[in-house]
Amino acid sequence: MKGLIIKDFLNMKRYLRNVLIILVVYFGIFIPSHNFNVLIGVVMIMCSMLVITSISYDDAAKWDKFALTMPLTKRDIVLAKYMLALVFIFGGALITIIVLFATGLVIDTIPLMEILSLVAVMFALGLIFESLILPLIFKYGVERARLLMILCLLVPSGLVVLGATAFGDKISPQAEQFLPLAAIVFAVIIFYISYRISRRIYDYKDF
C-alpha cells in the first residue's frame, strides 16, 4: 500500500506544487482582509478535491486493472485512496493552522482559538465530503460522480449552517467548546463507514 501512496505523490508532484502556489495566493488575499471563514473553506475544498484528481489520473492510465495484477488486494487500493484523502485534508488543515498561527505572532488581531475551531469543523466537513463522494466515485467513476460532487459539498455544509441557525443559541458556551471535537469524532466514524462501503463496492467492480 505504501507503493500506491508513493505512486500518487510522484504522479501529482507538479500538480501539488501548483496547489501550494495557489494556497499562497489565497493566504495573501484573505489574511489581510481577515476573511478567515472563506479562506479555511476554500483551502479545505481544494485539499478535498486532490484525491479525486488522483483517481481520475488512475482512470486515465487504466492503473487499477494493472495494480490488481500486482501483490495488492482490492482492499489495499481502496484503503490507499482513503489514506490519501486523509493525508491531503490533514495537510491542508495543518498548513492553515501553521500559517495563521505564524501570522498571529506578528499581527495580534487574529482570533487564534476561533480559527482552531473553524479548521477543526472544516476538517470534519472535508472528511464527510470524502465519505460521501468516494463510494460514488468507486461505483460510478469520476466523470459520472462529478455531477454529484456539488451535492456532496453542499448537503453537509448546508446541514451545518441549518443546525447552527436552529440550535446556535441553545448551546451553552461550555458545550460549544466541545463541538469541533465532536464534529471530528463524528466525521471519522462516517469516514470509516464510508471506507467499508467503498470496499464492498470495489469488490464487485468489474474492470
Partner 1 sequence: MDAILKVCGLAKNYGDFQLKDVSFELAPGSIMGFIGENGAGKSTTIKAILNIISRDGGSVEIFGMDSQSDDKQIKEQIGVVFEECCFHDVFSTDDINKIMANIYCSWDANLFKKYCHDFKLPDKKRVKEYSRGMKMKLSIAAALSHRPRLLILDEATSGLDPVVREEMLDIFDDFVNDEQHAILLSSHITSDLDKISGSITFIHNGEIIFSKGRIDLLSQLRVLRCDEADFVSLQKLYAHHMLRYRKGTQGYDVLVENFEMIKSQRPELIIDSVNIEEIMLFYARGKRLRGN
Closest approach, Cβ 84 to partner 1, in A, equals: 14
Closest approach, Cβ 52 to partner 1, in A, equals: 16
Closest approach, Cβ 2 to partner 1, in A, equals: 5
Closest approach, Cβ 177 to partner 1, in A, equals: 42
* Three-state secondary structure of 23-42: HHHHHHHHCCCCCHHHHHHH
Closest approach, Cβ 7 to partner 1, in A, equals: 5
Nearest to 180 by CA among 115, 133, 95, 97: 115
**Residues 15-46, buried b or exposed e (16+ Cβ, 10 A)?**
ebeebeeebeebbeebbeeeebeebbbbbbbe
What residues make contact with partner 1 under the rule CB under 8 A? 2-4, 6-7, 10-11, 13-14, 57-58, 60-63, 65-66, 68-73, 203-204, 206-207
Integer CA distances (angstroms), 110 to 38, 45, 96, 194, 197, in order = 15, 22, 13, 36, 41
Residue 81 vs 129, nearer CB to partner 1? 81
The Cβ-side half-sphere exposure at 96, using a 13 Å CA radius, reads 30
Nearest to 67 by CA among 80, 83, 86, 49: 80
Alpha-carbon distance of 85 to 106, in angstroms, equals 32
